[in-house]
Structure 1
């Protein structure tokens, strides 16, 4: 009896790029044309730009975690786990499930959208004592931690301990770091009014970055406006400065200052997922080199996009320019890769990816924001309207839009609440505990595992 096997399309990662790719594949492919599988540890798409608002309690965690299973038409098979290696020769992806089982998933076409991880450096104590802001769990955990510092400072009889618990350090002057510092500073500023034993003057927020400017992509004027807003709120900004070492109760800056603190939040950039290194293919700054059509040069069955791919930015007219790792590009690349996978499947020509950046938005909480839509510089309420309007419209489902809008309205009317939700466990969790960066295999381990499994079968 003849058995007809449908082509197998494997998508790795459920971020902006991966989910947009899967959704478009479902819409444009008939069920008998291909089987689609998605590898992700969580069956939701995280709207990453709004994480600082989850950390500050403006939004609930559920509101920015968009379920992948809401659609009744959804036919993609989900493997709950993370890809830890890819054998291009055997066309096998090695996956570690959420129960730590190692499984092999064969494919005919693979779309690599594993995203990025927090970039760290060899700084003593950093991974042991710093928090990140890259996952939903981290945002919820940081919120609990910050509120617990107020609780513990209020209960403490030791002036030195109280002072250290009320100082907070955020490293990274990009969008994530700036918005995190801005949103959490607003939280502590509002919360301290409920702690009559605490001196509001003891609460100090530090935002530091090794770069000479805050968010240089915004331009000189808007960048200066953002700095002025933060400084007016009392956030101390130090540029040209980083961390020399980190401890459980203090942080040493590279300019020699020692800041007593129990809270170090590290948002100093991202790097491509370690999965890319398992391929043994050419990379640029850790990102997989791909053609303008986003396929691996010389391999029509491998596509990569998003934060982990060095996608040529043809809109800039510069041969060396790469698309920045932004949600705006990832969303459009996801749809474009799906079209190119379908074109390859049907023997049609693939098209290069071209997209001109539409602008930038930075939500600093309350009525404070700076935005640059289509090159137009905005500040204050107009900028806030553009920033929140952009984020709201980018949410994929009406349920998510309703939840986010309801949260914003409730926060505007009722203000903040200062409840710890229980994520704060007795055992502290830090940067190294959330992203599982030690789970990946080397290219040699991937090959040995695939060959060993094949012999057993």
Structure 2
């Protein structure tokens, strides 16, 4: 008899933890495991702002999937663009652009999320994201290029536009991105004798009334004080009304001349979830407490793509937040449930108490709340970096990150542009490939053939 086929979609925190658990706990020959991912690495997303600011190299936060000594899992390089639960087929667009059908017996959906956008004029064409390694590397080049171009031009109006940077989104990603890149430009301007530091302007914009409300009032205000002390203008209760190539119009009527709009205003579940035709909740797949997808036999969903009930919170309708901490632990629980399903054993629900939050603002600035204990400054920075360092999966990744941190602390920043994709469109659609997915009708027609 053919061995059961386990297909895991996504190699983020959830997908990788699921695969590692399956490899450890399945008997040899008990099942075939395949993971679908466009890149053969696990991206450590919380450290992307430090890649954008040059504190860390891109390679240090991309943990190779091919370092596994077991080599039991086949890596299929591509993106899952549709699922037909009735036919038990997942359609994959490989990195060469070809479509291939992958039958499965058990499917684990951990495709993650994409940057959430709105129908704002000009946003799709002119905003830069911070969701992928390519976007972080591109953004670093772009910011340094604005300093180079401002230094080279003689038009004061153009200089003002190039030296003004706007970040939209007051969550962890936006706050850390603004803080880290502002430090980069502050240090870089010392190498540009024709530019004045006071002309460099950073704006952080968010529609919410508070910065990072998950941290609580005290730590949120502490983070806000750090940003404003550095000269970052924070505008709350405001968003973008219109974006252009050389200016951004805010909803309060202000027009900010700028060549840099960084959009980090939340995430949305991968477009893959819409292809299943099963119920969703808040845009994510509705799942049972054991993370099975109702109406889709053999399918489990977790991470950013699933609305996993939060049994610990105890509030009716509460779902787990889309954090790396939850995704990793959900991955291990789903792996156990897949094995239980293979062996005819009962599934177990997901339960996990949140361990806290950390926000690295660069240098010695940070705010953290480990196990509910509020910290700020150097102690918070030690906790934040200690948590990230410990969460890295391999000794090689830990060594690279620690070496980068030490080198940056001793030698400071460098301001080298790599020229990465400088001639290609830098849109969210281009980097995150959100237009690569099939419609539910296209998938059904394909599997019917």
TM range (shorter): over 0.9
- Alpha-carbon distance in 1 for matches of 2:237, 2:28: 55
* Counterpart contact for 1:313–1:321, Cα < 8 Å: yes
Normalised to the residue count of structure 1, the TM-score between the two structures is 0.97
* Counterpart contact for 1:144–1:424, Cα < 8 Å: no
Is residue 253 of structure 1 aligned with residue 250 of structure 2? yes
**After TM superposition, where is structure 1 displaced by more than 3 Å over at least 4 residues in a row?**
none
Q: What's 1:449 paired with?
A: 446
Q: What's 2:207 paired with?
A: 210
Q: Which residue among 274, 278, 282 is the counterpart of 1:277?
A: 274
Q: What's 1:319 paired with?
A: 316
* Counterpart contact for 2:278–2:294, Cα < 8 Å: no
RMSD of Structure 2 on Structure 1 (CA): 0.7
- Alpha-carbon distance in 2 for matches of 1:258, 1:238: 13
Displacement after TM superposition at 1:43 (Å): 0.3
Is residue 60 of structure 1 aligned with residue 38 of structure 2? no
Give 1:33-182 correspondences, 5 Å limit.
33-182=30-179
Q: Which residue among 185, 194, 197 is the counterpart of 1:197?
A: 194
Tell me, what secondary structure is at the counterpart of 2:368?
A: strand
Q: Which residue among 208, 220, 237 is the counterpart of 1:223?
A: 220
* Counterpart contact for 2:85–2:296, Cα < 8 Å: no
Give 1:19-38 correspondences, 5 Å limit.
19-38=16-35
- Alpha-carbon distance in 1 for matches of 2:244, 2:2: 56
Q: What's 1:393 paired with?
A: 390
Tell me, what secondary structure is at the counterpart of 2:298?
A: strand
Give 1:4-23 correspondences, 5 Å limit.
4-23=1-20
Question: Relative to structure 1, is the Cα distance of residues 427 and 299 closer, same or farther in structure 2, using a 3 angstrom cutoff?
Answer: closer
Displacement after TM superposition at 1:427 (Å): 3.6
- Alpha-carbon distance in 1 for matches of 2:417, 2:337: 46
- Where does the alignment leave 5 or more consecutive residues of structure 1 unmatched? 453-457
Tell me, what secondary structure is at the counterpart of 2:96?
A: coil
- Alpha-carbon distance in 2 for matches of 1:370, 1:18: 29
- Where does the alignment leave 5 or more consecutive residues of structure 2 unmatched? none
* Counterpart contact for 1:206–1:237, Cα < 8 Å: yes
* Counterpart contact for 1:145–1:424, Cα < 8 Å: no
Displacement after TM superposition at 1:300 (Å): 4.5
* Counterpart contact for 1:209–1:240, Cα < 8 Å: yes
* Counterpart contact for 2:278–2:296, Cα < 8 Å: no
- Alpha-carbon distance in 2 for matches of 1:152, 1:88: 52
Displacement after TM superposition at 1:73 (Å): 1.3
Write the deviation string for residues 392-419 of structure 1: whole angstroms up to 9, x where unpaired. Answer: 0000000000000000000000000000
Q: Which residue among 420, 432, 436 is the counterpart of 1:435?
A: 432
Displacement after TM superposition at 1:424 (Å): 4.5
